[in-house]
């Protein structure tokens, strides 16, 4: 990121930091050109590993019965949902809605059961759990606050936005996280198709970086 962009981020943080009774999140919005997101091939569904994390600890829920997964997940504070729990959750709208507040992971062979019980609810909200295939469960859970997912949804407008940090982080940290997002999006749609980039705090006006 160039010096001018970093200075804009620094000014944004300086002018808004500590002005609310809560810690404001920092978000980036990216607008595209010449990309038709109504076509499946162009739709975004990517994970971005932020260089400096999101600045918060995400809650994690793991669908699992395998003791090797359950034990590791419990040690790290994740809640466990077994196969026997799926039917009762599917019949309770409040419990299903609560799942939206969690990063969801799953034992791979439970995915068909999860899809059958909860797919109609979680699928449209892009919240189906990530299957734990070929990964270290502990590392995935520990890193849950370091990644964001960017997905095309709704009317498939040529714009996306995502969390990239909070006001307590430095301008350099926010800038590096913006770069993380842009690098992934540029690989997906082409850098030339990124029309504009804006950054804002929860309660601030957006500032244009590009």
pTM: 0.75
CA dihedral defined by 123, 119, 90, 105, rounded to 10 degrees?
A: -80
Higher pLDDT residue, 143 or 81? 81
pLDDT tens column, 53-110: 888 767 899 999 999 999 999 999 999 999 999 999 999 999 999 998 898 999 999 9
Of 118, 56, 106, the residue nearest 80 (C-alpha): 106
Average pLDDT estimate for 30-47: 93
Both structure tokens of 79: 């809640």
In order, the DSSP letters of 123-148 are GGGT-PPEE--SS-HHHHHHGGGSEE
Q: What is the CATH code of the structural domain delimited by 60-144?
A: 3.40.50.790
Domain spans in the chain, listed from the N-terminal domain onward: 3-54+146-208, 60-144
Higher pLDDT residue, 136 or 145? 136
CATH of 3-54+146-208 among 3.30.70.660, 3.40.50.1980, 3.30.190.20, 3.30.750.80: 3.30.190.20
């Amino acid at each position: 990121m160039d010096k001018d962009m970093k200075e804009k981020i620094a000014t944004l943080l300086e002018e808004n930091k500590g002005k609310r009774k809560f810690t404001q999140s920092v978000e980036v919005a990216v607008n595209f050109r010449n990309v038709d997101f109504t076509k499946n091939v162009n739709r975004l569904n990517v994970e971005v590993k932020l260089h400096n994390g999101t600045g918060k600890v995400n809650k994690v829920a793991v669908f699992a019965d395998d003791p090797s997964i359950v034990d590791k997940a419990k040690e790290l504070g994740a809640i466990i949902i077994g196969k026997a729990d799926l039917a009762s959750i599917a019949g309770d709208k409040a419990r299903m809605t609560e799942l939206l507040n969690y990063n969801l992971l799953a034992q791979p062979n439970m995915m068909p059961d999860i899809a059958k019980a909860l797919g109609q609810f979680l699928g449209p909200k892009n919240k189906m759990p990530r299957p734990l295939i070929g990964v270290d469960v502990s590392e995935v859970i520990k890193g849950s606050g370091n990644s964001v997912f960017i997905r095309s949804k709704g009317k498939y407008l040529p714009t996306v936005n995502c969390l990239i940090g909070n006001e307590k982080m430095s301008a350099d940290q926010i800038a590096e996280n913006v770069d993380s997002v842009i690098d992934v999006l540029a690989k997906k749609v082409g850098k030339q198709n990124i029309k504009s980039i804006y950054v804002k705090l929860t309660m601030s006006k957006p500032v244009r970086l590009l």
